[in-house]
Structure 1
């Protein structure tokens, strides 16, 4: 045992199993060295005849001095008969769904695309939080989730997306200690069966659409960007979001393809024919395009 310092902690050997180094200055104050090399501060103490261990923070995020000060503060509570770990758990279990939603939205940017996050925000604000927002995370039941899902049976696709969002949120709540492990209330709630929406234009419909688009190019300069967006959708088979964010730098004329760096399914190549190449050159040469061209093809007007 030794007084914990930054040097001692950072030079501590990483072993196959986690172990603790205790401080000689503050009783119970210690650092845990994990097999991955991470180091976390803890306070170990006795309360209600059992050993408790309170997490104080990760080394590198807080300093050893700050962690030691926190340990001293928590020890004072223990000497007065308190149980900091139990208090922390109780406080966590009192958090409500609005707080969980806020933490969830802070968590997902590193895991989802911006358009996906906007969808999740919509489900939360329009369907989930109006019903569950003020409820404690620990008190939401399967019946509460089933009721929301049932009231959305007229919009079954959204109902299923809300159920999926809630399921992830409660899994995270358990991971974060905001709800007892293994109690996700979304479990066993059956999703609605979704019918794939598949619709093809008839030859006559395609012909009429082509005529309307050509007419709009002549008569409706305000919506010319939308006209080209629709044409690119028809000719490439790309998703709407892919066309809306399509940049000139993605076009490879030499290989007759579009190189999408970050589509919904990851980077992919879309092969294009002479009709798409001709359309792209038409867009480039359009008189309404400003000299200072935007990188996105459909917002170049």
Structure 2
């Protein structure tokens, strides 16, 4: 082999099994290539007892070939003095506390080397949540404990303390009128134990500090199942609340956002942060670049499509890259949580959240007879969703499903009394069907299915 350089390591192909490449100029210095493509530098030596040792020096990319070479030379110099650098490193690592381990993990997290769903680096929002759980729950409760002495009982005690609200607090943030409210409870405890398990897996697999992860096998509290959904009367109430709120110019944009959440089933951040470039009018879809599931395509119904078409015709796309810009046009709308609270406070829907609207959309789709896999596609779930990858066009059945659900919900918000029905697929029929849905009618008048005349013809 030639001298071990960045170019040599980069060009080394992956194989079905791990293999090693060696440096021709520095004996004992090498790198192993994993089937996954991970490349890690190491130094190989024999200690004073003639025991062969292999010490990792760092992943290719995290350290350069020259940095790894320097570390290898330093390690071999220690060996020449009769020392065992790997043993010394392990001894030092075994004395670190959970807080120090968390700091190492956070450094890896910020550099994008901690992977989340689908093998992708964790999203900014996920990293922020992880940092909050580390700094507000894990470190205050077990930060001083040595990692090597941490037991399953310690993890269980931490979990119960979080459940009991021992780490609950409310503190001011640097933002104007900002406040961070830290709550305990079963859900927070469950997720914090899961995060601690990931941190301890990093300590085991990457640092070699422990051999067994004490967070594995801990009996975590079951998350409360969120079953809250809007019924038809509550959708009508939602319409009245939004109509009243829109009379105040300050809340006009927020009411439009809430309506889009109700008609799409999207997550709050997906609608607030959507860009015009992600709204495919011709394909009747949102083509989201970055969601919880990665890239995602969502079929959207005609009420949603025509709302954005109208906004485009008014020149909104020329003002900001965001469909819902904030005070600064180059940023997304930022007052949503505060506005939401004021709009719903004191109403019959005060307990409703953005997630309730998402759950209600799915429940309505189920009421209308759509299958689980169709509903998963409408919501952008990775499992069972045919839109989990960045496809070019959508099946017309999915667009019909989006029309049906969003049209039905739109009609309820407008105060209509309806019965379950289905929609045609072509755009003119879709318009006619929705026009029939949204046409004003006396409360006592019977509802006619939008496609009844078409089927009769």
User: Shorter-chain-normalised TM-score: which range?
Assistant: 0.7 to 0.9
Correspondence 1:140 to 2:166: no
> Structure 1 residue aligned with 2:289, among 261, 270, 277?
261
Residues in 2 aligned to 1:59 and 1:208: alpha-carbon distance in whole angstroms:
58
**Unpaired segments of 5 or more residues in structure 1?**
none
Who is 1:153 aligned against? 163
**Does the CA contact (< 8 Å) of 2:44 and 2:52 recur in 1?**
no
Matches within 5 A, 1:10-25: 10=8, 18=19, 21=22
Change (3 A) 1:151 1:82: same
Please report how far the alpha carbon of residue 147 of structure 1 lies from its aligned counterpart in structure 2 after TM superposition: 0.3
Correspondence 1:202 to 2:231: yes
Residues in 2 aligned to 1:279 and 1:82: alpha-carbon distance in whole angstroms:
72
State the secondary structure of the residue aligned to 1:54: strand
Larger mean Cα displacement after TM superposition, 54-63 or 141-150: 54-63
Residues in 2 aligned to 1:94 and 1:291: alpha-carbon distance in whole angstroms:
57
Residues in 1 aligned to 2:12 and 2:290: alpha-carbon distance in whole angstroms:
41
Who is 1:275 aligned against? 303
**Does the CA contact (< 8 Å) of 1:293 and 1:300 recur in 2?**
no
**Does the CA contact (< 8 Å) of 2:99 and 2:139 recur in 1?**
yes
Residues in 1 aligned to 2:231 and 2:80: alpha-carbon distance in whole angstroms:
80
What's the CA shift string for 1:44-67, capped at 9, x where partnerless? 122235233334557784456972
> Structure 1 residue aligned with 2:130, among 113, 120, 124?
120
Please report how far the alpha carbon of residue 298 of structure 1 lies from its aligned counterpart in structure 2 after TM superposition: 2.2
Residues in 2 aligned to 1:10 and 1:77: alpha-carbon distance in whole angstroms:
27
Who is 2:52 aligned against? 51
Change (3 A) 1:44 1:215: same
Change (3 A) 1:231 1:283: farther
**Does the CA contact (< 8 Å) of 1:247 and 1:297 recur in 2?**
yes
Please report how far the alpha carbon of residue 13 of structure 1 lies from its aligned counterpart in structure 2 after TM superposition: 9.3
Who is 2:106 aligned against? 105
Residues in 1 aligned to 2:228 and 2:107: alpha-carbon distance in whole angstroms:
38
Correspondence 1:184 to 2:210: no
Larger mean Cα displacement after TM superposition, 187-196 or 40-49: 40-49
Residues in 2 aligned to 1:271 and 1:184: alpha-carbon distance in whole angstroms:
42
Who is 1:297 aligned against? 323
RCO comparison, higher one (Cα < 8 Å, 6+): 2
Change (3 A) 1:140 1:6: closer
State the secondary structure of the residue aligned to 1:298: coil
What's the CA shift string for 1:79-133, capped at 9, x where partnerless? 4442211101111222222232233233343522222222111211111111122
Length, aligned pairs only: 291
Matches within 5 A, 1:31-46: 31-32=30-31, 34=33, 40-46=41-47
**Does the CA contact (< 8 Å) of 2:40 and 2:56 recur in 1?**
no
Residues in 1 aligned to 2:286 and 2:59: alpha-carbon distance in whole angstroms:
45
TM-score (norm 1): 0.79
Change (3 A) 1:280 1:65: closer
